[in-house]
Structure 1
Amino acid sequence: MHRLPPHPLRTGGRTCVRAFVSTDEPKAVPALLGSKATAGVHEEAAMQTLVRGGRVIDPGTGFDGPADVLVDGDRIAAVGPGVAAPPGAAVVEAAGLVVGPGFVDLHSHVHSVAGQRLQAMDGVTTALDLEAGLMPVARAYAEAAAEGRPLHYGFSASWGGARAAVLTGRTPDARFASSLAVLGDPRWQRTSTPRELAAWLALIEDELAGGALGIGVLMGYAPTSDPAEYLAVARLAAKAGVPTFTHVRELTEVDPATPVDGSAEVARAAAETGAAMHHCHVNSTSGRHVDRVLGTLEESRRAGSRVTVEAYPYGAGSTAVGAAFIAPERLRAKGLGPRSVVMVETGERIADEARLRLLRARDPGAPCLLEFLDEDTPGDRALLRRALAFPDAVVASDAMPVHWPDGARDSAAWPLPPGGTTHPRTAGTFAKTLRLMVRETGTWSWPEAFRRCSYLPARVLDDVAPAARAKGRLAVGADADLVVLDPETVSDAATYAEPTRPSVGVRHLFVAGVPVVADGALRTDAFPGRPLRGEAR
């Protein structure tokens, strides 16, 4: 497995920040900023900021050129050359830098301040858990708001949580760790009875009414369940006017006995129901069969189906060790083995099948890495690039929680304490993609990069969340979610050995007009994240 060399932290700067307001006396702040917000953030939220002299890219209109951007509160007030700074405004000098809408991550499992700070340094302004979702969503939204978030946040209705509640009697607690723990439970993996199916579909419908951003479907974790259940979910999504976000079941090349090919199932459901179907991390679920899968999805789209695709630039995935596809026989079918599995919290590389079976039985929810491609091999690197280059594929991180040796799952400290473990995609997905696809290979232009990282992912949510229509754009009236980056140095720094090293090259990041990253440094007093909620019909 590829181990990236460490990237030196570049502290030189061609930018500066002026006129930021702060105060030593705490004041009341709006509830939407969270309990950790400070007076400095509150004052700046009411300020105007001029980002001056950068290369401005708006993937919504196609604009790409030198311009100034005026932020007024949480909105873009002006874009163009020669915009004057209002009296008392903060000014960010962006000459030589690229200015665009902040990245919208449709697939992030970091429900913590620590994880979101890593994503902020990677250019993300909106981090959503849509593949797995959390249940109940009302609790997930309330707890995020109470704690405060640096980035915008949101959740889908959890297919897994609803099925677990009905099939196993578990009470969902809006915790991702609890979701991982249930994945290896055979009671959850089985096909539902008609009565059970109706019961958990009703739970999902309630979650959509409560603001969920679509339906997250972990089909790959119940790979032998009846395909009729998936079609029932797609029909519900079509009726409610919401998208689905699917971790597909096994491909026929891997398991000829699978009830239906995982990627073909997405295409079939989209065609039969008219629902908007999003195929999660096509790189990891397709592996070396990605060309065939992409062909299947492209054929579906040409036929008029509403199918979207995401990918990330790593050759290893991360999941719970009890997942169905981590079973020894499933690994063999993929041409992998126990040594392809590495436990996240201990770093143990599994020696043999006996050890793997023991760990799966002892703690099925324990996080692990699964190496499915070798990034040191040119052919495997090319497969990853082809997944990212697929027309209209969006970048999504599948960011994972951060753990420390003492068992802590979050940290208020910054920089993060040493010893934290996670997948490097948590810290580096977007910067690594920019490094690979723009800087090193020229596969994408900068406008295309912002289209893949900002504009297109936001458009997946336009129907379910009208508020998303102001994201992924950099035009007057758009949300003031901006990233200002150095096109010469932006890069990932996280590796499998040091997965919590923040990316470099993001010079400034604004969330709802509030600077979360300023002059390359994260602001620990900034908690401007707001909920993005669905409005199912």
Structure 2
Amino acid sequence: MFRRALLPLLIITLHALSSSADSAQTYDLVIAHGRVLDPETQLDQTLNIGISNGKIASLSREPLVGKNSIDAQGLLVAPGFIDLHSHAVTPTGQRYQLFDGVTTALELEAGAYPADRVGQSLDSKALINYGASLGYLWLRQWRLSDRYQASLVHPVGEADGRNPNWEALSPQSVFTETLSQKHIAELQSAIKDEWRQGHSLGIGLPIDYLKFGLSDAELNAIFTTAAELDAIVFIHARRTPVGDLGGLNELIELARTSGAAIHFCHLNSNALKSISDYLELIEQVRVEGLDLSTEAYPYEAGSTQIGAAAFKGDWQTLYGMDFDDIVWVATGERLTEASFHDYQHQTPEGYIVLFSNDMASVDQAMLDPQTIVASDAMPAPSDDAKVHPRGRGTFARTLHRYVREQNALSWLDAIEKMTLLPARRLEHMAPSFARKGRIQLGMDADIVAFDPNRVQDQASYEDPNQPSMGMQYVLVNGTPIVQRGKLVHGVYPGLKITLTGHR
């Protein structure tokens, strides 16, 4: 794992249990008798946790008094999971992710523009914490067209605030139009203006979707601006044929030239069966000092829209697959050449699941010490919408597969990939994350308590609308939102996370 040298046991004990002597205090909530795990300090002890004002106020071997209490005997108590890559910032998406142990889900790859529009579908009723990067695709579309999407979950609408004197092209021009130097400079200015609003957690840049329009000059401008702002760029890399590391090498060169920090999204989906070469190169440049992080999800199939740019050319070579390796999500049917072209023409926004990888490669990606767990949860507009199961089960599946089944990770190691690693990745840019991903005094009380013998995903490709099992209690900002495995109705403790804090 991404380790610091372990602190001496005495220091850990004094830090972790420093307020245990205050037995007279009454806390808002006490979690009693749980096996408490904190990856940063390597804490693994049966303790009682006192929570007040949404923060962890006590960690004690002695009994604590609370206005309310949870008996966590037999449960593992850990920091709530942080998902850096979720397109499911909707009521349905948040509910499923909650039962997967996620207490913070962020739309960082595709992002939103403006970033503060990301939670509009929640209508101020967020179950879990959320936030977004500045979505460059949507900003680019807003500049080119008078109709645009604010994010993946928004319908196409009016481009409010756009200069009425600008030429207005089709919304689809975002994918193909090459920008002049004047337009590029205008977008650089718009990025800086949006950044000053304080809502954007980095810059989301889906290069592969924009590859027919992006010039070298535009890419260099984006990365130079990101470096100036100290903003992480969250990237869907240019897809290249299996075995070709050109997409990763492009990002490395851009980062080296600009000094920008980068995050390579869904490594498993880009690398496919060349995962060893990708991991080796990433480790090499990290050792050299490049600020690069990556993520993966534990499924052999990926998902995207059938109209995506990757499917405009020789996608069989790109993915190493054929028509019958693709499933039309809405019906579950395997596609033929004829049905593929029909759906691509008639419903280009429709979602497909593509079986282009194998679990041996996925396992290698997931088990690498530098890999963060992130779901790439697909948009979940309604309860009956069929989507890839990764938005329902990524985190429980990781625990079940790699800790319980394979014994390849310890509980602490697996939880670190879901909590401490994503928190550390963001905390220099967004200080709120210095208080997340940890069970320590003063930290945000985003906490999960799960049954180690039952934690498991249930969502499948055929029947994705099933919540994970095993999460007995989930707290968001100190408020129980799952109790005894059931949703607490009418409670909405989730907050929007920005560069400056929670809102």
Please tell me the TM-score bracket, short chain as reference.
0.7 to 0.9
Give 1:133's aligned amino acid.
Answer: G
- The structure 2 residue matched to 1:117, chosen from 85, 95, 120, is 95
Match of 1:242 in 2: 231
For residue 387 of structure 1, report the CA deviation from its aligned partner. Answer: 0.4
Q: How many pairs were matched up?
A: 463
8 A contact 1:277–1:307 mirrored in 2: yes
Residue 166 (str. 1) matches residue 138 (str. 2): no
- Deviation string 1:244-302 (CA, Å, 9 cap, x unpaired) is 11010023546x7xxx8111122222222222110100001111111111111111101
Residue 470 (str. 1) matches residue 435 (str. 2): yes
Identity of aligned residues (%): 34
- The structure 1 residue matched to 2:276, chosen from 252, 274, 291, is 291
Match of 2:378 in 1: 400
Match of 1:358 in 2: 342
- 1:176 is paired with a residue of what secondary structure? coil
1:457-496 aligned within 5 A: 457-496=422-461
8 A contact 1:343–1:349 mirrored in 2: yes
- 1:493 is paired with a residue of what secondary structure? coil
CA spacing shift, 1:252–1:275, aligned 2, 3 Å: same
For residue 423 of structure 1, report the CA deviation from its aligned partner. Answer: 1.0
For residue 219 of structure 1, report the CA deviation from its aligned partner. Answer: 0.6
- Deviation string 1:473-499 (CA, Å, 9 cap, x unpaired) is 111100010000111111000001110
Name structure 1 gaps, 5 residues minimum. 1-45, 374-379, 403-408, 412-418
**How many angstroms apart in 2 are the aligned matches of 1:487 and 1:315?**
24
1:117-516 aligned within 5 A: 117-141=95-119, 143=120, 146-178=123-155, 185=172, 187-210=174-197, 211-224=199-212, 225-251=214-240, 253=242, 261-327=246-312, 329-352=314-337, 354-373=338-357, 380-402=358-380, 409-411=381-383, 419-516=384-481
For residue 239 of structure 1, report the CA deviation from its aligned partner. Answer: 0.9
Give 1:140's aligned amino acid.
Answer: V
Match of 2:159 in 1: none
- Deviation string 1:112-139 (CA, Å, 9 cap, x unpaired) is 1111111000000001000000112233
Could you say which structure has the higher strand fraction? 2
- 1:266 is paired with a residue of what secondary structure? helix
**How many angstroms apart in 1 are the aligned matches of 2:407 and 2:251?**
31
CA spacing shift, 1:387–1:175, aligned 2, 3 Å: closer
**How many angstroms apart in 2 are the aligned matches of 1:430 and 1:106?**
12
**How many angstroms apart in 2 are the aligned matches of 1:365 and 1:357?**
13
Name structure 2 gaps, 5 residues minimum. 1-25, 157-168
CA spacing shift, 1:333–1:512, aligned 2, 3 Å: closer
> Larger RCO: Structure 1 or Structure 2 (Cα < 8 Å, ≥ 6 residues apart)?
1
CA spacing shift, 1:336–1:183, aligned 2, 3 Å: farther
For residue 389 of structure 1, report the CA deviation from its aligned partner. Answer: 1.3
- 1:214 is paired with a residue of what secondary structure? strand
Tell me the TM-score normalised to structure 2 length: 0.87
8 A contact 2:110–2:151 mirrored in 1: no
CA spacing shift, 1:188–1:510, aligned 2, 3 Å: same
- 1:133 is paired with a residue of what secondary structure? strand
Tell me the TM-score normalised to structure 1 length: 0.82
Match of 1:20 in 2: none
CA spacing shift, 1:212–1:505, aligned 2, 3 Å: same
Residue 60 (str. 1) matches residue 32 (str. 2): no
CA spacing shift, 1:485–1:133, aligned 2, 3 Å: same
